[in-house]
Structure 1
């Protein structure tokens, strides 16, 4: 290997690592607030990417109809859970959020589907659709069992992943898709060649990390999420609605996942199940960060991207094995550092 090849591999690793950093940060956010290991994060990536590609090709994405169906189910669940204390304001709010919002998104999608839209319009529609799906996913699958054990929440996450992956096969088919690039610019800094798409990936990743930092540090809802992550009971005692915190966390995670997918789909062909593998690499970064540290997760994501790039050069057949093997020494070190806990006796 010469210096030129090494620089190309580093460039590829940083590009991939930027995507994994976004996914890892979303996983840490959701776990800290809700204790849910968000296995369906990869489906948010797939839905965002393939919805954008479908709209760009002039077709109607099935995910918009899925958002309406999930909204109707969430509306029925809200009425059932609040059946003993129903009042007009509660029904009106549930109707607006669960029915009118996804129907409005579906109407916009029908209106713009099949037209030659600007890429940013298709991106906005894709983000709205996936954000609604993420919100309703929490409302249907996780909010009713929010106080359950981590194991129960994990089982629910796996079930949600399988269901969303199946819907993805129905909506998008088994064929892969690619979307139009967000920028066709290109320039060279010898010996490296930078495409506009890679620059967009770097810029959006940095911008999202900065926005998340501002959100958590300077907004009321961001501080409420931080309080919920530190102590759920204490947050409830001071008046913070932990259910709303969970909804916001899932909303942010779905938007981040959709943005990641939109950034990837012009670079690589994505299939209905591709997002799961991409999400797992973000999960590796989150595990290295201990599912608590945002800076360590971002740094670990760059490490994962670099290891993947160099593994694809030296041992392409085993690159996935090498990347996922990174978890083993981390878990071993954490288990040795953790204090021993005696098992409960019957």
Structure 2
């Protein structure tokens, strides 16, 4: 390996790591607010890529059926909850937010599925269609067990991943897809070719990280999410509803998963079950950040991407083993530091 090859591998690793950054930050955001390790995060990113590919080929994306099923189930559950509470005035609002609003992009995609749309419009329709998925899953699956232990929530999240994989096979089929390139731009820097896709991925990841920082620092909703993450009981006493904060967290998670799916679709062949392994690698970056620190998570995710790039060059069949082996020293170190902290507190 010479310096030029190392530079090319580093650039590829940074591009891959930038996608992991978006997904890992979504993991941390959802976990810090709801205590849920949202395992299906990668599935939503994969569904985004499959939806975008379907729109490119003027086919009807299966995501419409998925959103329709989830919206109907969430509406029924919400109406049943309203009926039990006797708060019948909330019925129109529930129908609007859980049925009408999620189905609007589904109807738009259905009407435009056989029309040749330009790339920006396809991407916007895809993201709009994907946005309701995570909040609807929260309402159907997680909100009824919101006070359960972290272990139970994790088990449910894993089961949900397998359910979504099965639904993905039904709605999208077993074929893999790769979308058109988002840009044909390229440049040479110090003798190293840099594709426009790489630049776009890194810039998009940086922009969304900045937007996430501004959201948490300068908006009331962002501060409400921080308060909920720090102390759910205290946030409730201050008038912040944890259920609402959880919905906002899942909505932001859907945005980040959708953007990740759009960015990864032109550079990887995506199947209905590809999201799990991609999300798992991003989760390694989240673990490096302790599922708490956004900056450390971003740095850890970039490191995972670079490590995977170099590992694939040395031995492609063992690149996953190399990446996941990183968890062992990280977990040992975190276990040791946590033990030290607990001992100090006891003293």
Query: Could you state the TM-score of these two structures normalised by the residue count of structure 1?
Result: 0.96
2:144 equivalent to 1:144: yes
Cα distance in 2 for partners of 1:280, 1:16 equals: 13
Asked if residue 16 in structure 1 is aligned to residue 20 in structure 2, the reply is no
Alpha carbon RMSD of aligned pairs, Å? 1.4
Q: What does residue 189 of structure 1 align with?
A: 189
Matched, 1:203 2:203: yes
Displacement, 1:60?
A: 1.0
Counterpart-to-counterpart distance in 2, 1:192 and 1:38: 38
**1:5-49 CA-partner distances (Å, limit 9, x unpaired):** 110111111011101111110000010000001100111110111
Residue number in structure 1 paired with 2:102: 102
Q: Which residue of structure 2 lines up, in the alignment, with residue 179 of structure 1?
A: 179
Task: Give distance in 1, aligned partners of 2:113 and 2:196.
Answer: 26
Write the distance in 2 (CA, Å) between the matches of 1:85 and 1:319.
53
Matches within 5 A, 1:45-56: 45-56=45-56
Matched residues in 1 for 2:103 and 2:271: separation?
A: 27
Give the Cα–Cα distance (whole angstroms) in 1 for the partners of residues 338 and 203 of structure 2.
38
Deviation at 1:309, TM superposition (A): 0.8
Q: What corresponds to 2:4 in structure 1? A: 4
Q: Distance in 2 between matches of 1:66 and 1:268?
A: 23
Give the whole-Å Cα distance in 1 for the aligned partners of 2:210 and 2:132: 24
Instruction: Tell me the number of residue pairs that the alignment of Structure 1 and Structure 2 aligns.
Output: 342
User: Is the CA contact (8 Å cut-off) linking 1:79 and 1:86 kept in structure 2?
Assistant: no
Comparing 199-208 with 189-198, greater Cα deviation is found at 189-198
The Cα of 1:89 is off from its aligned counterpart by 3.0
For 2:114 and 2:194, the matched residues in 1 are separated by: 32
Query: 1:215 maps to which residue?
Result: 215
Q: Which moved more, 1:190-199 or 1:248-257?
A: 190-199
Map of 1:70 onto structure 2 = 70
CA displacement at 1:238 relative to structure 2: 0.4
Structure 1 residue 339, shift from structure 2 partner: 2.7
Note the residue ranges of structure 2 that are not aligned, 5 or more in a row: none
Q: How many angstroms does 1:88 deviate by?
A: 4.3
1:85 offset after TM fit, Å? 3.0
| Shift of residue 87, structure 1, vs aligned partner | 3.9
Deviations 1:63-88 (A, max 9, x none): 11211221111111112122233344
Is contact 2:12–2:198 with CA below 8 Å preserved after alignment?
Answer: no
| CA–CA separation in structure 2 for the residues paired with 1:93 and 1:135 | 16
CA distance in 1, matches of 2:174, 2:72: 28
- Structure 1 runs, 4 residues or longer, greater than 4 Å off: none
Q: Which residue of 2 aligns with 1:298?
A: 298
**Cα distance in 2 between the residues matched to 1:99 and 1:338:** 44
Give the structure 2 partner of residue 269 of structure 1: 269
Within-5 A mapping of 1:331-346: 331-339=331-339
Alignment-derived partner of residue 280 in structure 2: 280
Distance 1:116 1:192 in 2: 36
Q: Is 1:324 matched up with 2:336? A: no
For residues 103 and 11 of structure 1, the distance between their equivalents in structure 2, rounded to whole angstroms, comes to: 40
Distance (Å, rounded) in 1 between the aligned partners of 2:39 and 2:131: 16
SS of 1:304's partner is helix
Aligned mates of 1:104, 1:188 — CA distance in 2: 44
